[in-house]
């Protein structure tokens, strides 16, 4: 083996590669490269040996074949044994210690609306993945994620500690990234007949939904870097590690709060202050205010003081000492226990107030949730395991536009939008009741709309009792209701009308639509219907 270590560098995206190469050169490494990468490094003043000087031939077939040569792959695959080293010497093949490549942007090309079979094939990298796999099999340093370049430099500077484990992790990551790369090609050329799921575990949970479901954890998508609200982008500021159920609640809360923000932004031009409380993923309290953060928290808590105990909270505004005190002590005889609190940021005083013994309150921070609206909706496909396979569908991105609705005052339209955003991100079937910018009752997960209506009213009444023990019923006169699909009969609307519901937002598609319209007209209820095929709000069915 030669005295000087050799790194083979070949990248499509040249930005920053000269910094990495210069670090290697400063540590005495020799750089092999070809084509555009070699030219770029040379222009940056870095000494480069062209691959052609090793192979004895330049690129052929329009640069389709450059590194696919025994003198390259022999230098990557050889083992440190007398037999292999003898062959390398016999054929004048250099031992290559490192491969640093990235791949042609295949995924981006497949998403290009003007992509063709030919353009996708031309953006399909062969040499890069092949070199990485050869290097991985040969036990070399392999880098195909730009984020790993600095880590490798620091590792080399430290004397390459725990070398076998370090190289093993790099190789495993590279193999998975190549597998995903190949899957993108198969999916495109197979016209979406094939699908695959790839991820990297970044959160390890003690167990799953129940204590006996082990192991469990969160795996982030390889291409989630651009999603500022990806689960792994939330920074934990306090409390014990997130559980499986905590992560499920976090995902559900982001769906609800971004739908509220999107609904308000689309219909009223801006995102208000929002406080959201959930239990088992479903909203049990929501408050909205244009100006007052404290009022927003109060409205959220009054949604269901019993359910929010031990629940999770998400705010789209920062938490200071005052807001923390409101969350813990308002409308409570003692200290309110919360499992998770999420916000754009927390002050040190707020962290101290919210923290519980044994880290039972997890505090999560991500400034991307502040005033999150239309452009914060999750647009990636939703995937769900079912026995023998999995289901895939587009995400929940529908947002109604009520700008043409003139017969309802704007304040009431705000209630309708809030009811829609909550109901459309709660377990179907759902009836949701909102009044004066706060959630009164959320009747989720029912088999029929009468049951969902009764449950929503029941929850509103139970909340009223917890606020004023002598009050048996909530004041729902003038409230707005949302139904996540059409009413098959008048019966559920009769239940709502008896409590003074003023506005109902639902979908059309029932054979009894006309009867329902006539009934609402008779009762003085304003009825908004959009086609069920467009606006149905089934969620987590």
The rounded average pLDDT for each run of 10 residues, N- to C-terminus, in the chain (541 residues) is 88 93 96 92 94 87 86 94 93 95 94 94 94 96 95 96 96 96 95 93 94 95 89 95 96 98 97 97 97 97 94 97 96 91 97 90 97 95 94 96 92 97 97 97 96 97 81 90 97 97 97 96 96 94 85
275, 286 Cβ separation under 8 angstroms: yes
Query: Which residues have a Cβ under 8 Å from the Cβ of 224 and sit 6 or more positions away?
Result: 230, 232
432 shares its domain with 496: yes
Confirm whether 451 is domain-assigned.
yes
Q: Which residue has the tokens 């890069």?
A: 128
Phi, psi for residue 132 in degrees, rounded to 5: -60, -45
36 shares its domain with 132: yes
Quote the DSSP letter at residue 64: T
232, 224 Cβ separation under 8 angstroms: yes
Residue 120 burial by Cβ neighbours in a 10 Å radius (0-12, 13-18, 19+): middle
Query: Structure tokens of 490?
Result: 């008048």
Cα 139 to Cα 150: distance, rounded to the nearest angstrom: 20
Q: Of the residues 189, 223, 248, which one is the last residue of a structural domain? A: 189
The domain that holds 118 is classified in CATH as 3.40.50.1380
Quote the DSSP letter at residue 216: E
Total domain count for the chain? Answer: 3
341 shares its domain with 453: no
- DSSP β-ladder status, 389-393 and 382-386: antiparallel
pLDDT value at residue 396: 96
Confirm whether 226 is domain-assigned.
no
| Residue 230 three-state SS | coil
Confirm whether 151 is domain-assigned.
yes
Cα 196 to Cα 315: distance, rounded to the nearest angstrom: 34
154 shares its domain with 291: no
| Number of residues assigned to the chain | 541
Query: Which residues have a Cβ under 8 Å from the Cβ of 327 and sit 6 or more positions away?
Result: 297, 301, 313, 319, 336, 338, 341, 354
Cα 340 to Cα 342: distance, rounded to the nearest angstrom: 7
Cα 286 to Cα 299: distance, rounded to the nearest angstrom: 6
11 shares its domain with 151: yes
pLDDT value at residue 1: 59
Confirm whether 200 is domain-assigned.
no
364 shares its domain with 418: no
40 shares its domain with 101: yes
Say whether the peptide bond before residue 243 is cis (omega within 30 degrees of 0): no
Q: What is 430-444 written as a DSSP string?
A: -EEEEETTEEEEEE-
CB atoms within 10 A of CB 409: 10
37 shares its domain with 94: yes
**Sequence-distant contacts of 183-186: CB under 8 A, at least 24 apart:** 184/106, 184/107, 184/110, 185/106, 185/110, 185/120, 185/124
371 shares its domain with 308: yes
| Residue 62 three-state SS | coil
Confirm whether 527 is domain-assigned.
yes
327 shares its domain with 467: no
366 shares its domain with 429: no
Q: Which domain covers residue 311, as residue numbers?
A: 236-376
Per-residue b or e along 460-472, where b marks 16 or more CB atoms closer than 10 Å to that residue's CB:
bbbbbeeeeeeee
CB atoms within 10 A of CB 434: 30
Query: Structure tokens of 339?
Result: 């499992």
Residue among 438, 445, 482 nearest 460 (CA): 438
Q: Which helix (H) or strand (E) holds 314?
A: strand 312-315
368 shares its domain with 461: no
Residue among 388, 398, 394, 389 nearest 423 (CA): 398
417, 263 Cβ separation under 8 angstroms: yes
pLDDT value at residue 358: 83
Confirm whether 487 is domain-assigned.
yes
319, 346 Cβ separation under 8 angstroms: yes
Q: Of the residues 360, 376, 392, which one is the last residue of a structural domain? A: 376
Confirm whether 540 is domain-assigned.
no
The domain that holds 436 is classified in CATH as 3.40.140.20
CA 462, distance to chain mean position in Å, is: 34
| Residue 472 three-state SS | coil
Confirm whether 223 is domain-assigned.
no
Q: Of the residues 129, 157, 189, which one is the last residue of a structural domain? A: 189
Query: Structure tokens of 154?
Result: 């620091």
Residue among 525, 517, 522, 518 nearest 499 (CA): 525
Query: Which residues have a Cβ under 8 Å from the Cβ of 533 and sit 6 or more positions away?
Result: 509
């Amino acid at each position: 083996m030669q005295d000087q270590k050799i790194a083979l560098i070949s990248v499509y995206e040249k930005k920053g590669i000269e910094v990495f190469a210069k670090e290697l050169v400063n540590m005495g490494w020799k750089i092999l490269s070809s084509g555009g990468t070699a030219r770029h490094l040379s222009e940056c003043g870095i000494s480069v040996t062209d691959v052609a000087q090793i192979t004895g031939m330049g690129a052929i077939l329009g640069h389709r074949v450059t590194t696919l040569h025994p003198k390259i792959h022999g230098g990557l695959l050889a083992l440190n044994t007398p037999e292999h080293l003898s062959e390398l010497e016999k054929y004048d093949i250099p031992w290559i210690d490192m491969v640093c490549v990235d791949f042609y942007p295949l995924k981006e090309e497949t998403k290009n609306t003007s992509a063709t079979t030919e353009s996708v094939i031309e953006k399909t990298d062969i040499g890069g993945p092949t070199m990485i796999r050869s290097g991985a099999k040969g036990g070399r340093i392999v880098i195909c994620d730009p984020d790993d370049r600095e880590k490798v430099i620091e590792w080399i500077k430290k004397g390459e500690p725990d070398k076998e484990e370090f190289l093993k992790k790099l190789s495993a990551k590279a193999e998975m990234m190549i597998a995903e790369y190949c899957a993108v090609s198969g999916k495109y050329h197979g016209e979406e007949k094939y699908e695959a799921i790839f991820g990297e575990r970044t959160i390890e949970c003690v167990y799953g939904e129940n204590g006996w479901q082990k192991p469990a954890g969160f795996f982030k998508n390889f291409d989630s870097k651009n999603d500022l609200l990806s689960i792994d982008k939330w920074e934990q500021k306090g409390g014990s590690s997130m559980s499986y159920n905590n992560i499920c609640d976090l995902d559900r809360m982001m769906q609800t709060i971004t739908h509220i923000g999107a609904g308000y932004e689309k219909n009223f031009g801006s995102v208000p202050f929002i406080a959201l409380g959930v239990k088992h993923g479903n909203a049990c309290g929501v408050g909205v205010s244009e100006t007052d953060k404290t009022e927003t928290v109060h409205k959220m808590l009054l949604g269901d003081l019993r359910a929010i105990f031990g629940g999770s909270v998400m705010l789209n505004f920062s938490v200071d000492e005052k807001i923390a005190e409101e969350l813990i002590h308002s409308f409570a005889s003692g200290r309110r226990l919360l499992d998770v609190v999420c916000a754009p940021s927390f002050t040190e005083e707020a962290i101290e107030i919210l923290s519980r013994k044994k880290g039972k309150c997890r505090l999560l921070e991500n400034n991307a949730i502040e005033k999150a609206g239309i452009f914060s909706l999750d647009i990636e496909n939703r995937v769900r395991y079912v026995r023998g396979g999995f289901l895939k569908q587009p995400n929940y991105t529908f947002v109604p536009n009520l700008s043409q609705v003139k017969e309802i005052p704007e304040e009431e339209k705000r209630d309708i939008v809030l009811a829609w955003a909550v109901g459309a991100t709660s377990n179907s079937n759902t009836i949701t009741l909102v009044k004066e910018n706060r959630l009164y009752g959320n009747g989720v997960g029912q088999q029929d709309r009468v049951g969902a209506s009764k449950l929503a009213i029941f929850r509103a009444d139970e909340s009223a009792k917890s606020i004023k023990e002598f009050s048996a019923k909530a004041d729902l006169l003038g409230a707005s209701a949302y139904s996540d699909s059409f009413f098959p009969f008048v019966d559920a609307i009769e239940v709502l009308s008896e409590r003074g519901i003023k506005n109902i937002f639902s979908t059309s598609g029932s054979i009894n639509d006309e009867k329902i319209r006539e009934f609402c007209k008779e009762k003085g209820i304003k009825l908004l219907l959009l086609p069920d095929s467009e606006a149905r709000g089934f969620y987590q069915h």
